[in-house]
Structure 1
Amino acid sequence: MSTQLCHGRVIASVVGCTALVLAVTGTGTAQAHGRDASRQTLAAGDGWASATTGTTGGAAADAAHVYTVTTWAELKAAFTAGGTAPKIIKVRGTLDADGDTCADFAADGYDFSQYLADYDPAVWGYDTDLEAEKKIPGTQEYLRNVSATAQAKAIKANVPDNTTIIGVGKDAGIVGGSLQINGVDNVIVRGLTLESPLDCFPQWDPTDGDTGNWNSEYDAAVVYNATHVWLDHNTFTDGAHPDSTLPSYYGRIFQQHDGELDVVKGADYVTASWNVFEDHDKTFMIGNSDSAGATDEGKLRVTLHHNLFKNLVERAPRVRFGQVDAYNNSYVANADYSYSFGIGYKSQLVAEKNAFTLPAGVGAGSILHRWNDYPLTATGNVVNGTSTDIIAAYNSANAAAPLRSGAGWIPELRLRVDPAKAVARVVAGGAGATRLR
C-alpha cells in the first residue's frame, strides 16, 4: 500500500492516479538512537539544537507519514502532504530542482545581451543602483526580476515543522534546490549532497564597491526564524559549477552563487555536525544584518562541530549577534583562502580545538577577519599540526585593529570533544553525506 498525492488530496492506493507517488516505508515506531537513521534524534547535550525541547524531527511519524521521494516535485509534495503530523521524508537518488536551462524561467522580452548594453558602466555609471529600474515595466532590470521570481518559485521548497529529511541509498541529494527552513520548529536534515543553486539572473549593482558587483540569491539551505534544527552528515558543494567556471562581465565575476548554508533572522538552537562544506566562496553566514538586533538579539545560538570546511574562500562562518560554539572542525585551505571566522557585530564566538591546514604562504593571522570590534574565545587550536593562538596571530598581522579575547560565555552542550591534533584525521574519516550510509 502507498499514499499518493492526487489533485491536492492524499489517497491510499496500490496503483492510483498518475500524479506524484509518495511511497510509504518504515515501522511507525519512534526510536531515539536505533539502527534506522531516519528515526534517530539529536542526542541530549549535542549542541544548541539539543537545548530546551530538543530536536527530534519526524521521529514520531506513523507509517502513513513516511515517504520516499525520487523527484524534486515529489519532495515538495511530501512537504505539504499530511498536514502538521510528524513526517519522515527519504530522498532516493539525485533530485533536480532547476530544470534543463535558465531559459525555462526567463520572462518574455528578457535579453541578457540587451541587459549588458543597457547597464554597461560606460553608459549607466557607478553612482545609481537599479532599484528604480526594477519597478518600470519593460526595462531589462524589471524583466530580470520577473525571471528571478519564476526561478525562486521553482527551486525553493519550504520544510514543515517536525520533519526529518534523510538521504538513502547511493547518490542521495539535491541539485539546484534551496531548502527553506523558515518559521518552523524541530527539523532534521541528514545524509544529503546539496549542490548549490545556480542563480540564472544575478543582479548588477554598480554601487557595490568601487567598480560594482554581481549579486546572486539562493542558499542550498537557509534557516530563517526557525528553531531546533539539526543538520548532520550532509555535503554542501558547488558541484559541477564552481566559481572558476563562471564568466565575467563589466570586469567582475558573474557571481551565480550565494551561500551554502545561512542561519539568519531570528533563527535559534541550531546544531551543524559532521558536514562537508567545500569549493565555495561566501559559505556560511550566521546573522545577515548589523541592523537586525530586534530579531537577532539573544538568538542565533549555533553549534558547529566535526565539520570539514575545504577549499573555501570565506565565511566559515561569519557571525553577527549569536553565541556560536565552533569546536573540533577541520579547515583545509587552498590558495584562494581569505579567512574562516568573520567577527561581526555583537558576535560571541567560541572557537576551540579546531584544526587548520593552510598552504604555503598563508599565515595563521588570516584565520580571523575583524568586521567589528567584538571579543571571541579561541583556545586549543592547531595550525598545520602546531598549537597556535589564532587571536595573537591575527593581532601580530593586524596591529592597528586588534581583536580581544573573551566571548563572555562558556559552552556547556558538548558530547564528544577530540584532541585538536586528531581532528583533521577524525573529521576526514567521518564527515559528509556518504559517511551516514
Structure 2
Amino acid sequence: MTDSTTRLAYPSLAEIEEARIRVSQVAQVTPMESSRFLAEVIGSPVYLKCENLQRTGSYKIRGAYNRISALSDDEKARGVVAASAGNHAQGVAFAARELGIAATIFMPIGVPLPKLQATRAYGAEVILRGHSVEEALRAAAEYSQATGAVIIPPFDHIDVVMGQATLGLEILDQVPDVDTLVVPIGGGGLIAGIAAAVKQRAAALGRSIRVIGVQAENAAAYPPSLAAGEAVSIVPTPTIADGILVARPGLLNFTIIRELVDEVVTVSEADTARALLLLLERAKQVVEPAGAVGVAAILAGKVKDAGTTVTVLSGGNIDPLLMQRVISHGLAASDRYLKLRIMLPDRPGQLARTAELVAEANANVVEVLHTRHGKGLQISQVELELHIETRGPEHRAQVVAKLRDAGFEVRVEE
C-alpha cells in the first residue's frame, strides 16, 4: 500500500475493494434490520446496520485486520502493540491472533472486566497501565520504542480508515437506495472510511448520499474543529458513550471528514440512554452507548429530510453494570421512572394508603424511603420518597394527579 504521506487524503474505491477482500477473511457480513419505530419518527424507511453483532463485538476488527495484514514480514516478526479501553483492544488482539502475530495491549487500570477478559481470551498480552486511555497510549509508545513492536492506531491511519471503509460498501450492497447515513464519531476513523466509500460509489452512479456524524455532546471535538478549520483539542467531560470519548480528532480523519461528511450533530446523555433502551425493547439489540448515538440523533430530531436512512450500530460491548445504570437512566429520560417526595402526617396507615393509590393507578413501586429526619419536616410529619415505574408521560401524570387528588403534598424530583 502507498504510504499516507504520498497519497490522496482518502483511499480510492479500488483500494477499498481490495481491502474488502482482505477483511472478508475475518469480518462477517452483519445483518441490516429495518426499524418501523424509527421510520415513524422521521417519516421514511430506517435501517440498522448491526456491527454490534460483528466478531469481537464491533466494527474495529475491520481496520485492525487491514492494518496488521499490511505489515512487512520484519514488522510482523516484531509484533504489534496498541492501547485501548475496549473495542480497539479486542480488534487488534483478534486480528493479530488470526495472522499469527504477537500482540501486546495496554489498557487503563479499572477497565471493565468483560473487556479485559475478552482481550486476553483473543491471545494478547494485556498490561494495565495508568488510569486513562491517554496514559495507556503513552505507555504503548514507550513499549514500541523499547521493543520495536509496531503501534496499531485506533483511527488515525490510512490502512485503518481503508478497513473501516469496507463497511460502507457492505451498506450499499444491502440498501442500494440509501439517501442518508448516520454514523457515530469518536476519533473519526469509521465515518471517514464510510464516507470515502459511499461518496465515491455514489458519484460513480451519478447520485448523492448524505453522511451525518454524531458525537456525544460531552466529548464533541469535531464541531469546534470544523468551525476552526483545523483539528483542535477539547477537555471532554464524562459520558456513558465512552467508546467515542476522544479529546482531539485524528489528523487524517479530520481532513477526510471536512471534505466528505455533510454534517456533525451532538446528542445528550439522556438522548443516548433513551436510544439504548429503545434498541433493547424494540429492536432486541444489545448495543453499547457509543454505538447507539446514531439512533439517539434520530430520536432527538437531529436527522431531518433524510429519505431512506441507515444508522450504524457500531458496537455491542457494554459492561453489564453500566447497562444496568444506563437502562435506569433511559427509563427516567423516557418519563417511565418517577421519583416522588411526599409529606405525610406521622400516623399509622399513611404509607399503606399511598401504596394503595399508586396500585390503583396501575403503577409499580420499586423503591421506598421513609424518614422522620428530613430538613423542613415538622415534628408531626414524615417524608416518603417513592421510586415508581410508569408507562410514559401520560401515565406518570396520572399517578401524580391520583396522589394529589387524595390530598397528599407531592413533589416530583427530576
Q: Same fold (TM over 0.5)?
A: no
Bigger radius of gyration among the two: 2
Greater share of residues in helix: 2
Q: Name which structure has the greater RCO, CA cutoff 8 Å, separation 6+.
A: 2
